[in-house]
Structure 1
């Protein structure tokens, strides 16, 4: 029997719900730091959000499929896809953190510097002059990690949850025999 065709149960349902909540909270936090906290994201910061935008609808479908007792291969397959998407996110977070720590260079489009005073002078000219911050400068560090570092931690946790649930043995109380 293929690991993806084993019966599903509470473990897969809980994981799908945790992944839906976790991915939504992670990208939601990034958006709050940007729009409420005033942290302007660099090009790599914006790129790190893409896996979350992909993962949220997949997690929603996985949660609905698990709750609706869909075929185990569908539920486990969606969890596997979520795990792979979060591994992609982990790669992006580690790459960006490495750029910030100077371990390797970032892409050419990351060399911009924030500038411009939006409140003075010609507003339209100033808006055109504002550039995203450089990717090699962490906007802030919390407990020693930048936003990119925390994204790597969150991505690793979410990938672990997804992959563990995708390949976990059936629950003792599994009711989904297909």
Structure 2
């Protein structure tokens, strides 16, 4: 497999993870703040894949893709730790913090305030004992490894 094909496969993996997240959201699993944070690096990896599709598969792009995927994996590990109570998460989406984000009493009584606050420290869905955040971390680190593996594949070295 060439460097370009390997990089496109890795970008496609990020696309699959992002589409999976949107699917779960569409069937009723609202994302928390940390879930949203994990999506952005996948978007960056997809953008890198689009650049690779249109240009040469440079080493710089492989490194950018690997960094993007690893960033999502790191946020996934952080989110997993929050879910398991290993450390505290953002105060605006965890049970131990101020889940109301500093809203006043008048804000709380207003009908314009969102009623659904998705908690980052609660597992909404799990498979084989791992939450979506944990699965994202595993898949993201595998994609980061695939991006790095692309460096050793035949292709333009610059």
| TM-score for both structures, normalised by structure 2 | 0.83
The equivalent position to 2:47 in structure 1, one of 57, 65, 71, is: 57
Which residue of the other structure, out of 19, 27, 33, is the alignment partner of 1:43? 33
Tell me how many residue pairs correspond in the alignment.
Answer: 145
1:116 aligned residue: none
Does 2:74 match 1:87?
no
The runs of 4+ residues in structure 1 deviating greater than 2 Å are none
After TM superposition, the structure 1 = structure 2 runs for residues 74-153 of structure 1, keeping only pairs within 5 Å, are 75-111=58-94, 112=99, 125=111, 128-153=113-138
Provide the C-alpha distance between the structure 2 equivalents of 1:177 and 1:88, rounded to a whole number of angstroms.
Answer: 24
Structure with higher Rg: it is 1
Matches of residues 164-175 of structure 1 in structure 2 within 5 Å? 164-166=149-151, 168=152, 171=154
Provide the rounded CA distance (Å) in 1 between the counterparts of 2:157 and 2:80. Answer: 44
Q: Structure 2: how far apart are the matches of 1:157 and 1:63?
A: 21
Q: Secondary structure at the match of 1:136?
A: coil
Secondary structure in structure 1 of the residue aligned to 2:92: helix
Give unpaired runs (5+ residues) of structure 2.
101-109
Using the size of structure 1 for normalisation, the TM-score is 0.74
Structure 2 partner of 1:22: 13
- RMSD in angstroms over aligned alpha carbons? 2.1
Structure 1 unmatched ranges of 5 or more: 1-9, 114-123
